[in-house]
Structure 1
Amino acid sequence: MKKVIFKILKIALPLLLGFFLIYYSYNQFTDLERDKIYSYLLDANYAWIILSLFFAFLSHLSRAWRWNYMLETLGATPKFITNVMAIGAGYAMNLIIPRSGEISRAAIVNRSDQVPMDKAIGTIIAERVLDLIVLLIITAVAVLTAGDAIVNFFKTRIDDAFAKTEPAKILLYSGIFLVLVILIVFISRRIQLFNRLKSFILGMKEGFMTIWTMKKKWWYFLHTLFIWGMYLLMFYVSIFAIPGIETIPISAILCAFVAGSFAVAFTNGGFGAYPYFIAQVLLVFGISEPLGTSFGWILWLSQTILVLVYGSLSLLLLSLKGSLSGK
């Protein structure tokens, strides 16, 4: 029962946050501003978006290739197409249940090449750690190039929000937040997840350490740079899809990119949070909220469609492969 509650909360809380941000964002606009958003969405030049999706797919292929450098250290070399399908399936699963994609990726190579689940997950965790380091570096560059604009903007917004909020509401919201935190901590401790998975964690540690023991570590790092280069290029070419966005400076592009990247961690695939965060960041650089919101939704919808198509095809091919091998 406790496990079921924990799983429900894990899925429900990010979704609720996403729905709340959509509701909040939609209701703050006037009818005229909503009409502008619809107009931006309809009149966008989607040729640039298709090009951005091409760069995104190249990053997925590079991620599939990169993964084998770590798996080789574990004595396995899955076929490239297997890795491509595993990653596609993983992305699709993450849209439904956050972080379930890592497990599905590991399960696929476990079935195809008998890579131990714990060690395969360890290699994926190593990927995430390295990717996080790159994202933090980009974040630092974005903040430095933007100067004090970001800090001053959010400080002003927070001050205004508290100035307009009644003390009773602040106490109520703080109480709700505190109860949620206590509930999550209580459930986590009762499940005693780490104690039950001690041996599993040791296996993941071995997989994680392969990032330093692999023979082709420099190729691995080069693929990492290529992947993030494609992410940035994907975001950059998208600014030409809507007139008015293409004039933003590099600092704005980097800040919006970082905001969108972190938004994905808050909700399922950035649902609700991605367009909202991007619109708020672009507002700092003089882009109106309707225009920034439209840009955010175009990016999120296009990337989500890519993940759904890519993931669905991967799951279908894996299913057919499993059926054929079972005969």
Structure 2
Amino acid sequence: MDRKKVLKITGSVLLGILFLWLAFRGIEFSEVMESARGMTWWWLTPFTAATLFAHYIRALRWEMLFTNKEKTPSKITLYTGVMFGYLVNIPLPRVGEVARPVYVARQVGESNSKIIGTIVLERVVDLIGMLLLMAFVVVFLIADPQVLSRLFGIDITNTDTQIDLLLTLGIFGIIGLSGIGLLYWLFKLAAEKTEGKIFEIVTKIQKIIRTFVDGVLAIRELKNWPLFIFHSGLIWVLYIFMTYAGFWMFDMQTEFNLGITEAIVLTVVSAVGISIPTPGGIGSYHLFITKALFIFYGVPEATGLAYATISHAATLLIIFISSPALLAIDKFLGMKNEGDIEQRTSDVQR
């Protein structure tokens, strides 16, 4: 393992530890355990079903982005790729986003860069969905800006803060666009001016980028837009249901009057927490959920932390169990298909 990767993993682990410390700071562990003892376990059944189904729908939506029908993976391969990516993301944050398409590419003999392009496209769609849901939550479900200021630790009602945020976004946007323009200019200049080995390297890089862009632009060839949008919406609906099912383990739906509306808010908060590059969302998820439950709905922090810890552990356990099982099933079916093809070829030759 190279030094850069070790530093990245170490930084991710330390970040997770920091968030865990912030989540548990000021809370007695005995109080968390006491809250966990009184929970009901039946909620794990619908929670597990919703988790597995949400990831399967993600695989079905991913299938729609494959334009080469001869190299379109089977549903089980795509589903295995999705779960394998989540498994890799636990010890290696964000690496699963690469491991997932590489696994599928090897199964069907497709270009790695092209399938990675479909992942980028999928993440853009997810980001748009999250931003729309976040806007809905902020505008319609959390009307008090002071509550949002307490949650994020900044005064969003302050004009100077708003200007600073806009300037920061603008600066990052300009830097990003400038970087892309500079990269394009360098490639064009190198392709025109150089020969021999450097020219070959530049040509290969350009080919990879072109293939990657083809994957991203697969959206242009999408035939069934309504189904694609339906799958995208259904994924979020299942995520919200997973959050809602978790309320029942501590009787939150009765004691704190938490329902679907509150589940939508918590789903957005959890999406922000998980997006932080900690191992499997450990620490960041716990802190964001605990604070959101306390600030928005008055749920004691010990109870909120118990909810976050157990729901997160259940999610990891589902991934740990299902991913190896799917890898074994996909490998078995792949070997079986290869055997059937060889048998048919042998029969034809006779």
- Shorter-chain TM-score: what band? 0.7 to 0.9
Distance 1:95 1:52 in 2: 20
Distance 1:58 1:212 in 2: 27
Structure 1 length-normalised TM: 0.79
Structure 1 runs of 4+ aligned residues shifted over 4 Å read 194-198, 318-327
Which residue matches 2:293?
282
Distance 2:207 2:322 in 1: 34
Which residue matches 1:305?
317
The answer on whether the counterparts of 2:67 and 2:221 sit within 8 Å (CA) in structure 1 is: no
Which residue matches 1:268?
279
Cα deviation for residue 293 of structure 1 reads: 0.8
Identity of aligned residues (%): 25
Which residue matches 1:146?
142
Q: Which is further off, 279-288 or 251-260?
A: 251-260
Which residue matches 1:62?
57
Cα deviation for residue 224 of structure 1 reads: 1.0
Q: Which 5+ residue runs of structure 2 have no aligned equivalent?
A: 156-182, 188-201, 343-350
- Residue pairs, 1:86-165, within 5 angstroms: 86-144=81-139, 145-148=141-144, 149-154=146-151
Name the SS of the counterpart of 2:258 in structure 1: coil
The answer on whether the counterparts of 1:103 and 1:121 sit within 8 Å (CA) in structure 2 is: yes
Distance 2:14 2:233 in 1: 34
Which residue matches 1:229?
237
Which AA in structure 2 matches 1:17?
L
Cα deviation for residue 251 of structure 1 reads: 4.8
Structure 2 counterpart of 1:47, from 42, 49, 62: 42
Which AA in structure 2 matches 1:61?
Y
The answer on whether the counterparts of 2:80 and 2:326 sit within 8 Å (CA) in structure 1 is: yes
Cα deviation for residue 309 of structure 1 reads: 1.1
Distance 1:236 1:18 in 2: 25
Structure 2 length-normalised TM: 0.74
The answer on whether the counterparts of 2:85 and 2:99 sit within 8 Å (CA) in structure 1 is: yes
The answer on whether the counterparts of 1:74 and 1:115 sit within 8 Å (CA) in structure 2 is: no
Q: Which is further off, 119-128 or 209-218?
A: 209-218
Distance 2:143 2:107 in 1: 50
Tell me whether 1:83 sits opposite 2:83 in the alignment: no
The answer on whether the counterparts of 2:61 and 2:228 sit within 8 Å (CA) in structure 1 is: yes
Name the SS of the counterpart of 2:226 in structure 1: helix
Name the SS of the counterpart of 2:27 in structure 1: coil
The answer on whether the counterparts of 2:59 and 2:75 sit within 8 Å (CA) in structure 1 is: yes
Name the SS of the counterpart of 2:252 in structure 1: coil
Which AA in structure 1 matches 2:248?
F
Distance 1:86 1:23 in 2: 33
Q: Which 5+ residue runs of structure 1 have no aligned equivalent?
A: 160-191
Distance 1:147 1:5 in 2: 47
Which residue matches 1:19?
17
Q: Which is further off, 306-315 or 72-81?
A: 72-81
The answer on whether the counterparts of 1:73 and 1:214 sit within 8 Å (CA) in structure 2 is: no
Structure 1 counterpart of 2:248, from 237, 240, 247: 240
Distance 2:117 2:310 in 1: 34
Number of equivalent positions: 288
Structure 2 counterpart of 1:254, from 264, 273, 276: 264
